Amino acid sequence: MVIALLTDFGDYYPGVMKGVIRRISGAEVVDITHSVKPQNVLEGAFLLYNAYRFFPRDTVFVAVVDPGVGGRRKALAIKTENYWFVCPDNGIAYPSASGDGVVEVYRINEAVSELVGELSSTFHGRDIFAPAGALLKEGRLEERYFSPLTDAIVELDLFDLTISKSGVRAMVVHIDRFGNVVTNVRRELVERASPEGVIFNGLEIPLVERYEDVEVGEPLALIGSFNTLELSIREGDFASEFGVGFGPVSLRWIR
Amino acid sequence: MVIALLTDFGDYYPGVMKGVIRRISGAEVVDITHSVKPQNVLEGAFLLYNAYRFFPRDTVFVAVVDPGVGGRRKALAIKTENYWFVCPDNGIAYPSASGDGVVEVYRINEAVSELVGELSSTFHGRDIFAPAGALLKEGRLEERYFSPLTDAIVELDLFDLTISKSGVRAMVVHIDRFGNVVTNVRRELVERASPEGVIFNGLEIPLVERYEDVEVGEPLALIGSFNTLELSIREGDFASEFGVGFGPVSLRWIR
Amino acid sequence: MVIALLTDFGDYYPGVMKGVIRRISGAEVVDITHSVKPQNVLEGAFLLYNAYRFFPRDTVFVAVVDPGVGGRRKALAIKTENYWFVCPDNGIAYPSASGDGVVEVYRINEAVSELVGELSSTFHGRDIFAPAGALLKEGRLEERYFSPLTDAIVELDLFDLTISKSGVRAMVVHIDRFGNVVTNVRRELVERASPEGVIFNGLEIPLVERYEDVEVGEPLALIGSFNTLELSIREGDFASEFGVGFGPVSLRWIR
């Protein structure tokens, strides 16, 4: 039984969350990542969506990218077919939860912070989400802490892009340590267009199946482990070389 | 039962420490942080002080920021009301240990390195502190490894600052991933002064309760999750924008 | 019982591997490092070699630095006297495995990816190496997943350097967070030459036993925790100050 954490907190804050979790629960804690780009809910949602199904049944995911911390956004606990998702109501866990099948939605009450002994306005990871996750791991879905929610929650579409005959306007949703640029263009869309390559910023890039299909140092496009289109340089760093950041990106098909 | 680690070691060295710990002890290891600014004992002490009380009873904290490694500083094991702290004698665990209530102090003998099979002059995290923490977790407070210490240990005051009517000369003790600048000015001091804001380097910054009280991109001051004064930009990076680093900082009150 | 991970994957990808491992196995996962310089098999091999013996018997090491992912290089599981090593066949685990004593070598079949439900061409850490490690941890050395291998595997020599009377041409194999520059010049070689210092890029550096033997801010050479020669600045960052990167380095002895 695992509690899995995904945040934009970087270092230290997750360590404190683990202390809180261990005081309430015997659960093992697994870090998915704490390096989501600060405030980037879309990246957080995309990374969670591509991680959750690899975890065992009954995992409790605590996913916190939370620009609205301390404000009026709700704190949620979402029960799905196989998992629990604990998160702010900003869409971060929506693609994962709806992918697995939402069963019930609860609002987390601030009372959970009594178990921590603190309620700051800046660190609900520690004061709200960590104790809520630990309670659910222990099966303690208590009224004091969780209220059934019937209001709509925030929905987020990971694959919202503009498709034309000549190409696609998509989003860069993740850049990994190797400088691979991960987009939200899905395998199915690429297979339907069946191009031989893509044009990005005037650069012609071949679409290949594996890195070894081009020479070391050459750019390439492929369907990566997220099952979406990625831009890479074999044994190089595409993002640095071409100055690519997060956000919108235009790609034209080469046919 | 948990062994919690806090160091300035960055990556890899903590992984080796975990190997050592697992050879001696069945304990689960939790990382608090390994990103303390290199050699910055004050930051290490501040972060440990703000983490320890969130951990379960009987946690063994191994805290190593150790510019004197290989030299004559002592290695300590401090038993407190609820915890053990294992650390070099440079003050890093002093605020935490005295906060929880010191019960007994031991000197760690170099003999613990026999359990590792190595005694380097540069990596006592592996050779001294990790095995000592694992022994204590197992309840093995053996004479061969631990000697009662009656000498004074190094004391460190986290909240040593200069207060005047017009403001305070304080320390930047931590900068987090979001660029929030964390000072050692405590909530009580701010409440006593009850300002409407602070002046930092000529910049007037309002004191607010939560990020949402200013517009996105605007600077703000608030009492953060450390219960001290922090300087931030809503959804921005104060430290980068204003070039703030660790060390002394002067703040004037706006009334 | 531990599964220990060493990769150049940075953040996130290791979190997904842990999900896969936890679905197959009850093993605790310990991170050694995920910050090996991208594609740098030599650094990965050096770091693994200096970590493995500190882990308990029966640890399964999953070591993945894998520029050939998706290509024709084999995936290996190597049983040694005390451990298992799971890795691509590029030499990364060779020094460790031969150091501990190779008992049997197996090729990992792609069928292990059935347990993941994915087989990408870019992320065999998730699809091949993580499930293989988890299977071995569970003692499931099944024919469907593992085939005995009698072909030669790739050998890698960590200590391949050119020695002359006046000095040595060696490799920088690791640079740590403090800017310590770690070479592959072994203690025995230095002791045989018994110099008083080294000359690096025209800079004379004394060979000392511990950091405290020079003043703060001064450069020094010593035998570090890897039992090889390191170049450092006391409480400073040698690599940044002198612009040192990975790769070949020439050192002359001062006598």
Q: Are B8 and B35 in contact (CB under 8 A)?
A: yes
Among C121, C148, C175, give the residue marking a domain's end.
C148
Q: Are A51 and A59 in contact (CB under 8 A)?
A: no
C116 and C23 in one domain? yes
Position C220 scores a pLDDT of 97
C181 and C141 in one domain? no
Q: Does A242 reside within a domain?
A: yes
Q: Does A106 reside within a domain?
A: yes
The answer, yes or no, to whether residue C1 has pLDDT greater than 90, is no
Q: What is the DSSP letter of A113?
A: G
Q: Which residues pair with B203 in a beta bridge?
A: B200
For residue A38, the chain B residue with the least C-alpha distance is B178
Task: Please report which helix (H) or strand (E) contains residue C240, including its range.
Answer: helix C238-241
Position C132 scores a pLDDT of 98
Closest Cα in chain B, distance from residue C57 (Å): 8
Position C44 scores a pLDDT of 98
- B225 to A118: CB separation less than 8 angstroms, yes or no: yes
- C30 to B16: CB separation less than 8 angstroms, yes or no: no
B106 and B21 in one domain? yes
Average pLDDT, rounded, for chain A: 96
Q: Are B203 and B242 in contact (CB under 8 A)?
A: yes
Q: How far is CA C235 from the centre of its chain?
A: 26
Both structure tokens of A229: 């289109």
Asked casually if ipTM beats, i.e. exceeds, 0.90, the reply is yes
pLDDT range class, residue A71, cuts 50, 70, 90: confident
Q: Does B99 reside within a domain?
A: yes
The answer, yes or no, to whether residue C27 has pLDDT greater than 90, is no
**Cβ-based neighbour number of residue A159 at 10 Å:** 16
**pLDDT, mean of residues B73-84:** 98
C173 and C197 in one domain? yes
Distance CA B66, CA B128 (A): 12
CATH assignment at residue B52 = 3.40.50.10790
The answer, yes or no, to whether residue B152 has pLDDT greater than 90, is yes
C138 and C23 in one domain? yes
Tell me the pLDDT tens digit for each residue of A173-191. 999 999 999 999 999 999 9
Q: What is the DSSP letter of C34?
A: S
Both structure tokens of B136: 């204590």
DSSP chain B: -EEEEEES--SSHHHHHHHHHHHH---EEEEEES-SPTT-HHHHHHHHHTTGGGSPTTPEEEEE--TTTTSS--EEEEEESS-EEEEESSSTTHHHHHHH-EEEEEEEPGGGGGGTT---SS-HIIIIIHHHHHHHHTT---TTTEEE--S------TT--EE-SSEEEEEEEEE-TT--EEEEEEHHHHHHH--SEEEETTEEEEB-SSGGGS-TT-EEEEE-TTSEEEEEETTS-HHHHTT--SEEEEEEEE-
DSSP C176-214: -TT--EEEEEEHHHHHHH--SEEEETTEEEEB-SSGGGS
Position B207 scores a pLDDT of 98
C91 and C11 in one domain? yes
Both structure tokens of B29: 């290891």
Q: Does B154 reside within a domain?
A: no
Which residue, among C141, C36, C32, C44, has the nearest Cα to C87 in the 3D structure? Answer: C44
Contacts of A50 by beta carbon, 8 Å cutoff, 6+ apart: A225, A226, A227, C16
Q: Does C34 reside within a domain?
A: yes
Among B116, B148, B180, give the residue marking a domain's end.
B148
Tell me the pLDDT tens digit for each residue of A9-67. 999 999 999 999 999 998 899 999 999 999 999 999 999 999 999 999 999 999 999 99
The answer, yes or no, to whether residue B243 has pLDDT greater than 90, is yes
A77 and A174 in one domain? no
Tell me the pLDDT tens digit for each residue of C146-180. 999 999 999 999 999 999 999 999 999 999 999 99
**Closest to C19 (Cβ–Cβ): which among A34, A35, A54?**
A54
Round the CA-based radius of gyration of chain A to a whole number and report it: 20
Closest Cα in chain B, distance from residue A124 (Å): 9
Structural domain tally of chain B? 2
Contacts of C119 by beta carbon, 8 Å cutoff, 6+ apart: C110, C113, C127, C128
Tell me the pLDDT tens digit for each residue of C178-228. 999 999 999 999 999 999 999 999 999 999 999 999 999 999 999 999 999
Both structure tokens of C165: 């009377």
Q: Does C12 reside within a domain?
A: yes
CATH assignment at residue C189 = 2.40.30.90
User: For residue C43, which residues of chain B lie inside 8 Å, CB to CB?
Assistant: none
Q: Does A157 reside within a domain?
A: no
- A225 to C126: CB separation less than 8 angstroms, yes or no: yes
Among B98, B122, B148, give the residue marking a domain's end.
B148
Q: Which residues pair with A162 in a beta bridge?
A: A169
B111 and B32 in one domain? yes
Least reliable range by pLDDT among C41-45, C46-50, C70-74: C70-74
Position B27 scores a pLDDT of 85
pLDDT range class, residue A70, cuts 50, 70, 90: confident
A174 and A115 in one domain? no
Host domain of residue A78: 2-148
For residue C66, the chain A residue with the least C-alpha distance is A235
Task: Mark out chain C residues that contact chain B at CB-CB < 8 A.
Answer: 2, 4, 6, 28, 30-35, 47, 50-56, 59, 174, 176-178, 180, 209-212, 222, 224-225, 230, 235, 237
**Closest to C121 (Cβ–Cβ): which among A2, A50, A210?**
A210
Alpha carbon distance, N-terminus to C-terminus of chain B? 49
User: For residue C116, which residues of chain A lie inside 8 Å, CB to CB?
Assistant: 54
pLDDT range class, residue A122, cuts 50, 70, 90: very high
Distance CA A12, CA A14 (A): 5
**What are the CA-CA distances from residue C33 to residues A21, C5, C11, C38, C224 (Å)?**
24, 7, 10, 12, 19
Position C178 scores a pLDDT of 95
- B11 to C54: CB separation less than 8 angstroms, yes or no: no
A93 and A215 in one domain? no
Position A26 scores a pLDDT of 84
pLDDT over 90 percentage in chain C: 96
**Closest to C15 (Cβ–Cβ): which among A51, A210, A212?**
A51
- B121 to C222: CB separation less than 8 angstroms, yes or no: yes
Average pLDDT, rounded, for chain C: 96
Round the CA-based radius of gyration of chain C to a whole number and report it: 20
**Closest to B30 (Cβ–Cβ): which among A22, A67, A127?**
A22
A58-90 in b/e form (b: 16+ CB < 10 A) is: ebbbbbbbbbbbbeebbbbbbbbeebbbbbbbb
C65-96 in b/e form (b: 16+ CB < 10 A) is: bbbbbbeebbbbbbbbeebbbbbbbbbbbbbb
**Chain B interface, best mutation among C36, C37, C54, by max B CB count within 10 A:** C54
User: For residue B47, which residues of chain A lie inside 8 Å, CB to CB?
Assistant: 12
DSSP A19-80: HHHHHH---EEEEEES-SPTT-HHHHHHHHHTTGGGSPTTPEEEEE--TTTTSS--EEEEEE
Average pLDDT, rounded, for chain B: 96
Position C71 scores a pLDDT of 84
pLDDT range class, residue B71, cuts 50, 70, 90: confident
The answer, yes or no, to whether residue A129 has pLDDT greater than 90, is yes
Q: If 0-12 CB within 10 Å is exposed, 13-18 middle and 19+ buried, where does residue B188 land?
A: exposed
C184 and C142 in one domain? no
Q: Does C182 reside within a domain?
A: yes
For residue A28, the chain C residue with the least C-alpha distance is C28
Position A1 scores a pLDDT of 80
B76 and B119 in one domain? yes
